[in-house]
Amino acid sequence: MSISSACESNGGDNVRRIVVLPPCVALLAMCFACAHRGPIVDPGRTALYVRPITLYDHPLDVHFARPRQMLPLHPLLLYATGDGGFRGKDEDLFDDLASLGYPVAGFSARNYLKNLGYVADTTTPARLAADYQRLIQFSVRALELPPNTPVVLVGVSRGAGLEVVAAGQRLLRGTLAGVLAIALTKEEEYVRHYRVRPGRTPPGMPRRELVMIETYDYLPRLSSLPVSVIQSTRDGYLPAAQARKLFGPDTTDRHFHAIEARDHSFNGARDELYDQVQESLNWICSFLAPAPLGAGR
Protein backbone atom coordinates (compact mmCIF):
# COMPACT_ATOMS: atom_id res chain seq x y z
CA MET A 1 0.00 0.00 0.00
CA SER A 2 1.38 3.43 -0.92
CA ILE A 3 1.66 5.69 2.08
CA SER A 4 4.11 8.46 1.17
CA SER A 5 6.07 9.80 -1.78
CA ALA A 6 9.59 11.02 -2.42
CA CYS A 7 11.46 12.45 -5.42
CA GLU A 8 13.96 10.84 -7.71
CA SER A 9 15.70 12.12 -10.82
CA ASN A 10 14.35 10.72 -14.09
CA GLY A 11 15.55 12.17 -17.35
CA GLY A 12 16.01 15.65 -15.90
CA ASP A 13 12.60 15.65 -14.17
CA ASN A 14 11.84 15.16 -10.50
CA VAL A 15 9.07 12.56 -10.42
CA ARG A 16 7.12 11.44 -7.38
CA ARG A 17 7.60 7.72 -6.69
CA ILE A 18 6.01 5.30 -4.27
CA VAL A 19 7.82 4.35 -1.04
CA VAL A 20 6.70 1.35 1.02
CA LEU A 21 7.00 2.01 4.72
CA PRO A 22 7.35 -0.40 7.66
CA PRO A 23 3.96 -1.20 9.30
CA CYS A 24 4.52 0.94 12.42
CA VAL A 25 5.67 3.93 10.38
CA ALA A 26 2.85 3.41 7.90
CA LEU A 27 0.29 3.49 10.72
CA LEU A 28 1.65 6.81 11.98
CA ALA A 29 1.64 8.20 8.48
CA MET A 30 -1.97 7.14 8.00
CA CYS A 31 -2.96 8.85 11.24
CA PHE A 32 -1.23 12.04 10.11
CA ALA A 33 -2.91 11.83 6.72
CA CYS A 34 -6.33 11.49 8.34
CA ALA A 35 -5.68 14.57 10.45
CA HIS A 36 -4.24 16.57 7.55
CA ARG A 37 -6.95 15.66 5.01
CA GLY A 38 -5.26 17.34 2.07
CA PRO A 39 -6.40 16.71 -1.51
CA ILE A 40 -5.15 13.54 -3.18
CA VAL A 41 -3.91 13.35 -6.75
CA ASP A 42 -4.54 10.04 -8.52
CA PRO A 43 -1.20 9.05 -10.15
CA GLY A 44 -3.15 6.91 -12.60
CA ARG A 45 -4.83 10.04 -13.98
CA THR A 46 -2.18 12.73 -13.46
CA ALA A 47 1.60 12.80 -13.85
CA LEU A 48 3.47 14.96 -11.33
CA TYR A 49 6.98 16.26 -11.97
CA VAL A 50 9.27 19.24 -11.35
CA ARG A 51 11.52 21.14 -13.74
CA PRO A 52 13.64 24.23 -13.05
CA ILE A 53 13.52 27.46 -15.03
CA THR A 54 16.31 30.02 -14.77
CA LEU A 55 15.15 33.44 -13.61
CA TYR A 56 17.65 36.13 -12.67
CA ASP A 57 20.51 33.65 -13.18
CA HIS A 58 19.17 31.26 -10.55
CA PRO A 59 16.92 28.17 -10.81
CA LEU A 60 13.26 28.32 -9.84
CA ASP A 61 11.47 24.98 -9.50
CA VAL A 62 8.18 24.73 -11.39
CA HIS A 63 5.84 21.92 -10.30
CA PHE A 64 3.71 20.32 -12.99
CA ALA A 65 0.54 18.24 -13.01
CA ARG A 66 -0.24 16.80 -16.42
CA PRO A 67 -3.46 14.83 -16.96
CA ARG A 68 -2.68 11.56 -18.70
CA GLN A 69 -5.70 12.16 -20.94
CA MET A 70 -5.27 15.70 -22.23
CA LEU A 71 -8.41 17.36 -23.58
CA PRO A 72 -8.27 20.23 -26.11
CA LEU A 73 -8.99 23.86 -25.21
CA HIS A 74 -8.87 23.34 -21.46
CA PRO A 75 -6.83 26.12 -19.88
CA LEU A 76 -3.47 25.87 -18.23
CA LEU A 77 -3.56 26.92 -14.58
CA LEU A 78 -0.43 28.85 -13.56
CA TYR A 79 -0.38 28.79 -9.77
CA ALA A 80 1.70 30.96 -7.42
CA THR A 81 1.94 30.18 -3.69
CA GLY A 82 2.05 32.55 -0.75
CA ASP A 83 5.11 33.53 1.28
CA GLY A 84 5.28 30.07 2.89
CA GLY A 85 6.37 28.57 -0.40
CA PHE A 86 5.51 25.24 -2.01
CA ARG A 87 4.56 23.29 1.11
CA GLY A 88 1.73 22.72 3.57
CA LYS A 89 -1.61 24.24 2.65
CA ASP A 90 -0.23 25.93 -0.46
CA GLU A 91 0.97 22.59 -1.79
CA ASP A 92 -2.42 21.14 -0.87
CA LEU A 93 -4.09 23.73 -3.07
CA PHE A 94 -1.84 22.76 -5.98
CA ASP A 95 -2.91 19.14 -5.47
CA ASP A 96 -6.54 20.25 -5.38
CA LEU A 97 -6.16 22.03 -8.71
CA ALA A 98 -4.46 18.94 -10.17
CA SER A 99 -7.22 16.67 -8.87
CA LEU A 100 -9.74 18.61 -10.96
CA GLY A 101 -8.05 17.44 -14.15
CA TYR A 102 -6.54 20.70 -15.35
CA PRO A 103 -2.94 20.93 -16.56
CA VAL A 104 -1.25 22.88 -13.76
CA ALA A 105 2.09 24.61 -13.33
CA GLY A 106 2.96 25.95 -9.90
CA PHE A 107 5.84 27.88 -8.37
CA SER A 108 6.83 29.30 -5.00
CA ALA A 109 6.30 33.06 -4.81
CA ARG A 110 8.80 33.05 -1.96
CA ASN A 111 11.52 31.54 -4.15
CA TYR A 112 10.62 33.79 -7.06
CA LEU A 113 11.17 36.86 -4.86
CA LYS A 114 14.40 35.33 -3.57
CA ASN A 115 15.67 35.11 -7.15
CA LEU A 116 14.51 38.65 -7.83
CA GLY A 117 16.43 39.79 -4.77
CA TYR A 118 19.73 39.00 -6.47
CA VAL A 119 19.16 41.97 -8.81
CA ALA A 120 16.67 44.27 -7.05
CA ASP A 121 14.61 44.68 -3.89
CA THR A 122 11.39 45.25 -5.86
CA THR A 123 10.11 44.85 -9.40
CA THR A 124 7.88 46.74 -11.81
CA PRO A 125 4.60 45.63 -13.40
CA ALA A 126 6.29 45.35 -16.82
CA ARG A 127 9.17 43.21 -15.53
CA LEU A 128 6.76 41.02 -13.55
CA ALA A 129 4.61 40.45 -16.63
CA ALA A 130 7.70 39.51 -18.63
CA ASP A 131 8.62 36.94 -15.97
CA TYR A 132 5.07 35.54 -16.09
CA GLN A 133 5.30 35.34 -19.86
CA ARG A 134 8.48 33.27 -19.56
CA LEU A 135 6.84 31.01 -16.95
CA ILE A 136 3.81 30.50 -19.19
CA GLN A 137 5.91 29.67 -22.26
CA PHE A 138 8.09 27.32 -20.22
CA SER A 139 5.03 25.60 -18.74
CA VAL A 140 3.30 25.17 -22.09
CA ARG A 141 6.39 23.38 -23.42
CA ALA A 142 6.90 21.28 -20.28
CA LEU A 143 3.27 20.15 -20.30
CA GLU A 144 3.30 19.58 -24.09
CA LEU A 145 0.33 21.90 -24.62
CA PRO A 146 -0.61 23.71 -27.84
CA PRO A 147 1.07 27.14 -28.00
CA ASN A 148 -2.28 28.94 -28.05
CA THR A 149 -3.54 27.28 -24.84
CA PRO A 150 -5.47 29.83 -22.74
CA VAL A 151 -4.09 30.48 -19.26
CA VAL A 152 -5.85 31.11 -15.96
CA LEU A 153 -3.68 32.65 -13.23
CA VAL A 154 -4.30 31.26 -9.74
CA GLY A 155 -2.57 32.68 -6.69
CA VAL A 156 -2.70 32.67 -2.90
CA SER A 157 -1.83 35.70 -0.77
CA ARG A 158 1.53 36.91 -2.16
CA GLY A 159 0.93 34.90 -5.31
CA ALA A 160 -2.50 36.49 -5.70
CA GLY A 161 -1.02 39.98 -5.54
CA LEU A 162 1.67 39.15 -8.07
CA GLU A 163 -0.76 37.60 -10.53
CA VAL A 164 -3.19 40.54 -10.38
CA VAL A 165 -0.39 42.95 -11.27
CA ALA A 166 0.97 40.74 -14.05
CA ALA A 167 -2.51 40.28 -15.53
CA GLY A 168 -2.94 44.04 -15.80
CA GLN A 169 -0.14 44.33 -18.36
CA ARG A 170 -0.79 44.34 -22.11
CA LEU A 171 1.98 41.80 -22.65
CA LEU A 172 -0.26 39.02 -21.30
CA ARG A 173 -3.60 40.33 -22.53
CA GLY A 174 -3.94 37.92 -25.45
CA THR A 175 -2.82 34.90 -23.40
CA LEU A 176 -4.96 35.03 -20.29
CA ALA A 177 -8.46 33.62 -19.86
CA GLY A 178 -9.01 34.70 -16.26
CA VAL A 179 -7.66 35.29 -12.76
CA LEU A 180 -8.48 33.51 -9.51
CA ALA A 181 -7.10 35.40 -6.49
CA ILE A 182 -7.27 33.75 -3.05
CA ALA A 183 -6.59 35.73 0.14
CA LEU A 184 -5.73 38.85 -1.84
CA THR A 185 -4.09 41.47 0.36
CA LYS A 186 -4.56 45.23 -0.06
CA GLU A 187 -1.02 45.98 -1.25
CA GLU A 188 1.76 44.23 -3.13
CA GLU A 189 4.88 45.80 -1.67
CA TYR A 190 7.32 43.95 -3.94
CA VAL A 191 5.91 45.66 -7.04
CA ARG A 192 6.30 49.42 -7.42
CA HIS A 193 5.00 51.86 -10.02
CA TYR A 194 5.02 55.58 -10.58
CA ARG A 195 1.99 57.75 -9.87
CA VAL A 196 1.37 61.49 -9.83
CA ARG A 197 1.75 62.88 -6.33
CA PRO A 198 -1.58 63.94 -4.81
CA GLY A 199 -2.02 67.63 -4.08
CA ARG A 200 0.40 70.39 -4.85
CA THR A 201 3.98 69.36 -5.53
CA PRO A 202 6.62 71.46 -3.68
CA PRO A 203 9.23 73.19 -5.88
CA GLY A 204 12.10 70.89 -6.82
CA MET A 205 10.18 67.70 -6.05
CA PRO A 206 9.31 65.35 -8.94
CA ARG A 207 5.64 65.25 -9.90
CA ARG A 208 5.69 61.47 -9.85
CA GLU A 209 6.52 59.16 -6.95
CA LEU A 210 7.35 55.46 -6.79
CA VAL A 211 4.78 53.60 -4.67
CA MET A 212 3.69 50.02 -3.99
CA ILE A 213 0.74 48.60 -5.93
CA GLU A 214 -2.73 48.81 -4.37
CA THR A 215 -4.11 45.53 -5.69
CA TYR A 216 -7.84 46.27 -5.56
CA ASP A 217 -7.34 49.67 -7.16
CA TYR A 218 -5.37 47.86 -9.84
CA LEU A 219 -8.20 45.47 -10.81
CA PRO A 220 -9.77 47.82 -13.42
CA ARG A 221 -6.54 47.47 -15.42
CA LEU A 222 -7.52 43.86 -16.07
CA SER A 223 -10.28 45.20 -18.33
CA SER A 224 -12.95 42.57 -19.12
CA LEU A 225 -10.80 39.61 -18.00
CA PRO A 226 -12.90 37.39 -15.68
CA VAL A 227 -11.69 37.80 -12.09
CA SER A 228 -12.78 35.82 -9.03
CA VAL A 229 -11.58 36.75 -5.53
CA ILE A 230 -12.01 34.41 -2.55
CA GLN A 231 -11.50 35.94 0.90
CA SER A 232 -11.76 34.69 4.49
CA THR A 233 -14.15 36.50 6.82
CA ARG A 234 -11.43 36.59 9.49
CA ASP A 235 -8.43 37.23 7.27
CA GLY A 236 -5.84 38.89 9.50
CA TYR A 237 -4.58 41.11 6.66
CA LEU A 238 -7.84 42.04 4.96
CA PRO A 239 -11.13 40.52 6.17
CA ALA A 240 -13.74 39.71 3.54
CA ALA A 241 -16.03 42.59 4.57
CA GLN A 242 -13.29 45.16 3.98
CA ALA A 243 -12.14 43.41 0.82
CA ARG A 244 -15.69 43.49 -0.56
CA LYS A 245 -15.80 47.29 -0.12
CA LEU A 246 -12.56 47.62 -2.06
CA PHE A 247 -13.69 45.11 -4.70
CA GLY A 248 -17.12 46.65 -5.25
CA PRO A 249 -20.28 44.90 -6.45
CA ASP A 250 -20.19 41.78 -8.61
CA THR A 251 -20.47 42.26 -12.36
CA THR A 252 -20.62 39.98 -15.37
CA ASP A 253 -16.82 39.52 -15.22
CA ARG A 254 -16.08 40.17 -11.52
CA HIS A 255 -17.11 37.80 -8.72
CA PHE A 256 -16.25 38.05 -5.02
CA HIS A 257 -16.73 35.18 -2.55
CA ALA A 258 -16.51 35.36 1.25
CA ILE A 259 -15.85 32.17 3.19
CA GLU A 260 -16.49 31.87 6.92
CA ALA A 261 -13.03 30.83 8.12
CA ARG A 262 -10.74 31.39 11.09
CA ASP A 263 -7.83 33.17 9.44
CA HIS A 264 -5.85 34.14 6.33
CA SER A 265 -5.20 30.44 5.58
CA PHE A 266 -8.91 29.50 5.66
CA ASN A 267 -8.40 27.21 8.65
CA GLY A 268 -11.66 25.58 9.66
CA ALA A 269 -13.00 25.89 6.12
CA ARG A 270 -10.48 24.28 3.79
CA ASP A 271 -13.11 22.03 2.18
CA GLU A 272 -15.31 25.08 1.54
CA LEU A 273 -12.30 26.80 -0.03
CA TYR A 274 -11.64 23.85 -2.37
CA ASP A 275 -15.32 23.79 -3.38
CA GLN A 276 -15.29 27.50 -4.13
CA VAL A 277 -12.06 27.21 -6.10
CA GLN A 278 -13.74 24.59 -8.30
CA GLU A 279 -16.85 26.75 -8.75
CA SER A 280 -14.77 29.83 -9.55
CA LEU A 281 -12.74 27.94 -12.16
CA ASN A 282 -15.95 26.62 -13.70
CA TRP A 283 -17.26 30.20 -13.89
CA ILE A 284 -14.04 31.51 -15.47
CA CYS A 285 -14.03 28.63 -17.96
CA SER A 286 -17.64 29.36 -18.88
CA PHE A 287 -16.21 32.26 -20.90
CA LEU A 288 -14.41 29.63 -22.97
CA ALA A 289 -15.59 26.68 -25.04
CA PRO A 290 -16.09 23.79 -24.52
CA ALA A 291 -17.56 23.25 -21.04
CA PRO A 292 -15.15 23.39 -18.07
CA LEU A 293 -13.52 20.56 -16.22
CA GLY A 294 -14.13 19.72 -12.60
CA ALA A 295 -17.75 18.60 -12.77
CA GLY A 296 -16.88 16.25 -9.95
CA ARG A 297 -13.92 15.16 -7.84
Residue 198 domain-assigned (yes or no): yes
Residue 184 domain-assigned (yes or no): no
pTM attached to this predicted model = 0.82
- Distance between CA 128 and CA 107 in Å, rounded? 14
Residue 244 domain-assigned (yes or no): no
User: Residue 69's domain is classified under what CATH number?
Assistant: 3.40.50.1820
Give the tens place of pLDDT for each residue, 18-67. 344 454 444 444 444 444 457 888 888 999 999 999 999 999 999 999 99
Element holding 76 (H helix, E strand): strand 76-80
Residue 253 domain-assigned (yes or no): no
For the chain, give the mean pLDDT: 84
| 273: CB partners within 8 A, 6+ apart | 93, 182, 230, 259, 261, 266
| 161: CB partners within 8 A, 6+ apart | 155, 181, 184, 185, 187, 188, 191, 213, 215
Residue 203 domain-assigned (yes or no): yes
Residue 75 domain-assigned (yes or no): yes
Return the pLDDT at 115: 96
| Count: domains in the chain | 1
Return the pLDDT at 203: 72
| End-to-end CA separation in angstroms for the chain | 22
Residue 31 domain-assigned (yes or no): no
Return the pLDDT at 144: 93
Return the pLDDT at 210: 54
- For residue 72, give the nearest of 140, 149, 184 by alpha carbon: 149
Q: What is the mean pLDDT of residues 102-113?
A: 97
The yes-or-no verdict on residue 221 having pLDDT over 80 is yes
Return the pLDDT at 35: 45
Residue 65 domain-assigned (yes or no): yes
| Residue spans of alpha helices (H) in 42-181 | 88-99, 109-116, 125-142, 158-167
Give the tens place of pLDDT for each residue, 187-214. 998 897 545 556 666 776 555 555 678 9
**Which is more confident, 167 or 204?**
167
Range of the domain at 208: 37-176+194-225
